[in-house]
């Protein structure tokens, strides 16, 4: 175990176990009492056997002993129940807290973290790793305490009966621990394989079903089917291997237990024949061996859990300790009084050595409508992300009304600035709920008003369920243009002061686009519109051309047309396309 792992276990204990020490101590008392009861009743059985062997048994003494055994067994069971109620329930509560803290740590992270961490990996941490740590906190701690107390009581009682038989009977037990550890480890690895293969199978099937249109269009059904068959075969092979290992577990345990009992029978039988041990004591030994098996097997099992949870704990704490790249003040140092945007000498790169934005400088007055055009991959979306502070620039500064973005709290910033991303994402909820993501307190009337502004209210009201229409996974039940306009409505419902539309009108026809732009004008918010269409940009107050991460031209539409060859070419081409469409509508 590395130093880091040891520190992590100490942190876990301090953070989650220490505050519950009373309950855990109670658990310790319960497990001790339970094992005291179960360690004591074989002694009564032994005495009863001896009394019967002597021929001195009476009905009263038999009844008394039976009652005592019954009470001790009930006591043992009840205390074991209380142990589980305390320790296992506590571990479930800690699991809940751990998951909550893990989620909070994820929520703190910046965009760069999510660029790096695939969703599947994060889901695996949130499920497998937390489950492994829970196993340590609950079952591992409980079985360790159980093993310790059972072993202590039973050993003392066995030694008081006959040290030699005790020593011989214990000989095979370390092998029990070792074989549970070995087989347990193999079972664990095999079941991990089964789980991984199953999730791969499910993940692939899910992707295939969500991309069913592409699969049909490219006639890939046969390929998908054969892939599914291959994956299913791998899954069944792993499952059979797991079943074989599980089947091996019990017989090998029974073999070792049987050999221990055989030794007791041989050595103990010899002692009884020699008259140095009573038959009752021999009977007690048999019961004690039975009682020791599971606690000893638990040693191997617990060792496996500790190893697994150590690895999981390291992974969880590594993420929980990760400092978010961006930090936001709790409260804004100063609120902007105007909503002008300043961008001074901003440079940015995602990875070292590959600049995406270089020395970008502009100033946009409050209420301005600004168009940004540029070739594919020139950094338009990146600039939008920087303006919404999803990333911080490597150098330079961005301000709103002369207040640097870093001085605003996350809440204030998100209320002020809203992005409609290039690929609209809708949740599989109703339209109203999707819109309310932008403002949870919006009334139905406000939701409807936002839909009207985004020119989609009429279409929504024509759906049978209207606002309560469920849009399907990622909005699959809607058209591309409908999805885009819902994403705009979602941004508008929060009444932002600065609106960033990243190619958010590309799937909308020019007439509808014109209406939406007129609605946006009426809101008087500073608006940046990224587009590949000149018709979207030409009515803006200001146009910026972004090429290869640099602003190569800015000014009014007419000015940029005169100064930027990229803009000029794009304009001429689109004019030509437009004329061809008008003159040859059926071509």
Ligand X SMILES: Nc1ncnc2c1ncn2[C@@H]1O[C@H](COP(=O)(O)OP(=O)(O)OP(=O)(O)O)[C@@H](O)[C@H]1O
Interaction site with ligand X (CB under 6 A): 115, 350-351, 356, 374, 376-382, 422, 503
Nearest-approach distance from CB 561 to ligand X, in angstroms = 20
Nearest-approach distance from CB 502 to Mg ion, in angstroms = 6
Nearest-approach distance from CB 390 to Mg ion, in angstroms = 13
- State the CB neighbour count (10 A cutoff) for residue 559: 14
Q: Which does 376 bind (CB under 5 to 8 A by kind): Mg ion, ligand X, none?
A: ligand X
223 vs 350 by CB, closer to ligand X:
350
Footprint of Mg ion on 393-422 (CB under 5 A): 422
The one-character DSSP state at 19 is: G
Nearest-approach distance from CB 236 to ligand X, in angstroms = 39
**How many residues are recorded in the chain?**
587
298 vs 343 by CB, closer to ligand X:
343
97 vs 115 by CB, closer to ligand X:
115
Strand order in the sheet with 395-400: 355-364, 341-349, 395-400, 403-404
Q: Which does 574 bind (CB under 5 to 8 A by kind): Mg ion, ligand X, none?
A: none
Distance, CA of 381 to CA of 111 (rounded, Å): 14
Q: With CB under 5 A as the rule, give the number of residues binding Mg ion.
A: 3
422 vs 430 by CB, closer to ligand X:
422
Longest dimension (CA), the chain: 120
32 vs 382 by CB, closer to Mg ion:
382
Nearest-approach distance from CB 532 to ligand X, in angstroms = 7
Burial of 440 (C-beta count, 10 Å sphere; 0-12/13-18/19+): exposed
64 vs 377 by CB, closer to ligand X:
377
Please check whether residue 431 is in contact with residue 353, taking contact to mean a CB–CB distance below 8 angstroms. Answer: no
Instruction: Please choose, from the candidates 275, 295, 215, the residue with its C-alpha nearest in 3D space to the C-alpha of residue 39.
Output: 295
Instruction: Please choose, from the candidates 569, 540, 535, 573, the residue with its C-alpha nearest in 3D space to the C-alpha of residue 557.
Output: 540
Nearest-approach distance from CB 421 to Mg ion, in angstroms = 9
Give the residue at shortest CB distance from Mg ion.
381
Region of 77-85, 300-308, 337-345, 378-386 interacting with Mg ion (CB under 5 A): 378-386
Instruction: Please choose, from the candidates 328, 197, 179, 196, the residue with its C-alpha nearest in 3D space to the C-alpha of residue 257.
Output: 179
263 vs 420 by CB, closer to ligand X:
420
Distance, CA of 207 to CA of 219 (rounded, Å): 16
Please check whether residue 372 is in contact with residue 544, taking contact to mean a CB–CB distance below 8 angstroms. Answer: yes
Nearest-approach distance from CB 385 to ligand X, in angstroms = 8
118 vs 290 by CB, closer to ligand X:
118
Please check whether residue 534 is in contact with residue 574, taking contact to mean a CB–CB distance below 8 angstroms. Answer: yes
Q: Which does 374 bind (CB under 5 to 8 A by kind): ligand X, Mg ion, none?
A: ligand X
367 vs 375 by CB, closer to ligand X:
375
Is residue 469 helix, strand or coil? coil
Nearest-approach distance from CB 377 to Mg ion, in angstroms = 8
Q: Which does 115 bind (CB under 5 to 8 A by kind): Mg ion, ligand X, none?
A: ligand X
Token duo for residue 400: 């709103």
**DSSP for 305-335, written as a single string:** HHHHHHHHHHHHHHHHTPPPSS---SS-SS-
506 vs 574 by CB, closer to Mg ion:
506
Nearest-approach distance from CB 326 to Mg ion, in angstroms = 21
Please check whether residue 65 is in contact with residue 44, taking contact to mean a CB–CB distance below 8 angstroms. Answer: yes
Nearest-approach distance from CB 488 to Mg ion, in angstroms = 16
Q: Which does 377 bind (CB under 5 to 8 A by kind): Mg ion, ligand X, none?
A: ligand X
CA distance readout (Å), 90 to 78, 144, 202, 459: 18, 16, 33, 52
Q: Where are the beta strands (DSSP E) in 18-174?
A: none
152 vs 507 by CB, closer to ligand X:
507
**DSSP for 203-232, written as a single string:** HHHHHHHHTHHHHHHTT-HHHHHHHHHHHH
Footprint of Mg ion on 418-447 (CB under 5 A): 422
Distance, CA of 306 to CA of 310 (rounded, Å): 6
Nearest-approach distance from CB 502 to ligand X, in angstroms = 7
116 vs 462 by CB, closer to ligand X:
116
CA distance readout (Å), 433 to 3, 392, 444, 459, 481: 48, 31, 10, 17, 19
Q: Residue from 179, 381, 526, 536 that binds Mg ion (CB under 5 A)?
A: 381
Q: Which does 312 bind (CB under 5 to 8 A by kind): Mg ion, ligand X, none?
A: none
- State the CB neighbour count (10 A cutoff) for residue 15: 13
Distance, CA of 539 to CA of 517 (rounded, Å): 9
Nearest-approach distance from CB 373 to Mg ion, in angstroms = 11
- State the CB neighbour count (10 A cutoff) for residue 409: 15
Q: Which does 379 bind (CB under 5 to 8 A by kind): Mg ion, ligand X, none?
A: ligand X
Find where tokens 């339209």 sit: 431
Nearest-approach distance from CB 376 to ligand X, in angstroms = 4
340 vs 357 by CB, closer to ligand X:
357
Give 3-state DSSP helix, strand, coil % of the chain, rounded to 5. 70, 10, 20
Q: Which does 434 bind (CB under 5 to 8 A by kind): ligand X, Mg ion, none?
A: none
Q: To 5 degrees, how large is the angle CA 72–CA 77–CA 78? A: 95
Asked if residue 281 binds Mg ion (CB under 5 A), the reply is no
Residues at the contact surface with Mg ion, assessed by CB under 5 A? 380-381, 422
């Amino acid at each position: 175990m590395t130093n880091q792992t040891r520190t992590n276990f100490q942190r876990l204990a301090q953070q989650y176990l220490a505050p519950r020490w009373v309950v855990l101590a109670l658990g310790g008392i319960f497990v001790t009492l339970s094992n005291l009861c179960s360690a004591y009743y074989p002694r009564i059985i032994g005495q009863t056997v001896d009394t019967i062997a002597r021929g001195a048994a009476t009905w009263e003494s038999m009844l008394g002993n039976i009652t005592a055994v019954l009470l001790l067994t009930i006591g043992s069971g009840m205390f074991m129940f209380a142990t589980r109620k305390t320790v296992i329930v506590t571990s479930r509560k800690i699991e809940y807290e751990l998951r909550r803290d893990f989620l909070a740590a994820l929520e703190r992270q910046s965009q760069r973290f999510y660029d790096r961490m695939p969703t599947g990996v994060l889901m695996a941490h949130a499920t497998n790793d937390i489950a492994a740590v829970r196993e340590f906190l609950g079952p591992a701690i409980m079985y360790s305490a159980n093993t310790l107390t059972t072993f202590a009581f039973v050993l003392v009682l066995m030694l008081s009966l006959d040290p030699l038989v005790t020593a011989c009977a214990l000989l095979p037990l370390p092998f029990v621990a070792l074989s549970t550890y070995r087989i347990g480890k193999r079972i664990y690895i095999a079941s991990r394989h089964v789980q991984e293969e199953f999730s791969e199978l499910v993940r692939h099937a899910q992707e295939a079903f969500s991309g069913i249109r592409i699969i049909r269009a490219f006639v890939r059904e046969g390929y998908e089917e054969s892939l599914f068959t291959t994956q299913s075969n791998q899954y069944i092979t792993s499952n059979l291997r797991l079943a074989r290992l599980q089947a091996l577990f019990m017989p090998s345990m029974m073999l070792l237990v049987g050999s221990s009992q055989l030794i007791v029978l041989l050595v103990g039988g010899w002692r009884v024949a020699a008259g140095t041990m009573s038959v009752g004591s021999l009977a007690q030994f048999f019961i004690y061996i039975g009682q020791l098996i599971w606690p000893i097997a638990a040693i191997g099992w617990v060792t496996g859990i500790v190893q697994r949870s150590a690895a999981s704990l390291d992974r969880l704490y590594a993420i929980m300790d990760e400092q978010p790249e961006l930090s936001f003040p709790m409260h804004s140092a100063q609120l902007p009084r105007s909503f002008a945007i300043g961008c001074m000498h901003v440079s940015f790169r995602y990875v070292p050595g590959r600049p995406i934005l270089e020395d970008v400088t502009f100033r946009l007055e409050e209420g301005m409508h600004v168009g940004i055009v540029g070739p594919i991959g020139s950094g338009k979306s990146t600039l939008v992300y920087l303006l919404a502070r999803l990333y911080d620039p490597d150098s330079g500064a961005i301000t709103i009304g002369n207040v640097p973005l870093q001085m605003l709290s996350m809440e204030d910033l998100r209320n002020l600035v809203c992005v409609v991303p290039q690929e609209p994402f809708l949740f599989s909820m109703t339209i109203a709920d999707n819109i309310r993501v932008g403002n949870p307190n919006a009334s139905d009337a406000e939701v409807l008003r936002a839909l009207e502004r985004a020119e989609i209210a009429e279409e929504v009201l024509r759906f049978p369920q209207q606002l309560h229409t469920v849009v399907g996974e990622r909005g699959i039940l809607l058209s591309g243009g409908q999805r885009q306009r819902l994403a705009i409505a979602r941004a508008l419902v929060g009444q932002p002061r600065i609106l960033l539309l990243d190619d958010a009108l590309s799937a909308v026809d020019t007439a509808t686009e014109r209406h939406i732009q007129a609605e946006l004008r009426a809101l008087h918010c500073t608006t940046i519109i990224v587009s590949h269409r000149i018709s979207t940009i030409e009515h803006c107050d200001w146009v910026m051309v972004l090429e290869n991460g640099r602003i190569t031209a800015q000014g009014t539409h007419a000015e940029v047309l005169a100064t930027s060859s990229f803009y000029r070419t794009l304009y001429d081409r689109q004019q030509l396309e437009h004329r061809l469409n008008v003159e040859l509508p059926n071509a």
